[in-house]
């Protein structure tokens, strides 16, 4: 394991406060690896439905901690940086659903550069973990509800030339 990755794994490990958070972090890490394998093979709509989280009744897992854990786990799994937005957002989407809240998953393209895409999670009308100022540059393409069903946009596959940054 490269030293940069070990550093992020250590940071993620040190930030876990309870056994429930440890279980959630392991599920997120496994989910991140699963997205990495599946995203090239499965249509986007199927991938989103697969990652729609059902409430698990895990006590003490508040949305703010789920957001923090998802960012940390995805950074650790990629050796730092922000990780891949599709992987991070799907992991966060599932984690928030399991925590009993109703997130939405948004896909957008950068205005003026339709090949540059971004994926983010919205909770109670606000981005969950992403900078709202950065998201202003993106025009929504598709929105999926908490159950993984498309609520806005077209389920037709986005052009393969879009890079989900």
**CA proximity to 93, closest of 146, 40, 143:** 146
In this structure, what is the dihedral angle of CA atoms 30, 34, 35, 39, given to the nearest 10 degrees? 170
Q: Are 36 and 110 in contact (CB under 8 A)?
A: no
pLDDT at 153: 80
pLDDT at 36: 86
Residues of the chain with pLDDT under 50: none
* Residues with Cβ within 8 Å of residue 41, at least 6 apart in sequence: none
In a 13 Å sphere around the CA of 8, the CA atoms on its Cβ side amount to: 20
* Residues with Cβ within 8 Å of residue 14, at least 6 apart in sequence: none
Query: Beta strands of the chain (E only): which ranges?
Result: 104-110, 113-123, 126-127, 138-144, 150-153, 163-164
- DSSP, collapsed to helix, strand or coil, labels residue 10 as helix
pLDDT at 58: 61
| C-alpha torsion sign, points 75, 58, 47, 29 | positive
Q: Are 22 and 89 in contact (CB under 8 A)?
A: no
Q: Are 85 and 52 in contact (CB under 8 A)?
A: no
pLDDT at 157: 53
pLDDT at 3: 56
């Amino acid at each position: 394991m490269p030293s940069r990755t070990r550093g992020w794994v250590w940071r993620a490990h040190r930030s876990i406060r309870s056994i429930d958070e440890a279980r959630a972090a392991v599920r997120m890490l496994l989910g991140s690896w699963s997205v990495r394998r599946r995203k090239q093979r499965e249509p986007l709509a199927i991938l989103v439905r697969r990652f729609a989280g059902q409430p698990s009744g895990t006590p003490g897992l508040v949305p703010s901690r789920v957001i923090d854990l998802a960012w940390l786990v995805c950074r650790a799994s990629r050796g730092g940086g922000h990780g891949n937005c599709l992987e991070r957002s799907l992991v966060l989407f599932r984690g928030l659903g399991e925590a009993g809240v109703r997130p939405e998953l948004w896909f957008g393209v950068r205005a003026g550069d339709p090949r540059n895409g971004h994926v983010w999670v919205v909770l109670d009308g606000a981005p969950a973990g992403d900078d709202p100022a950065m998201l202003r540059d993106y025009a929504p393409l598709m929105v999926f509800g908490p159950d993984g069903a498309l609520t806005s946009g077209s389920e037709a596959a986005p052009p393969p030339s879009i890079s989900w940054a």
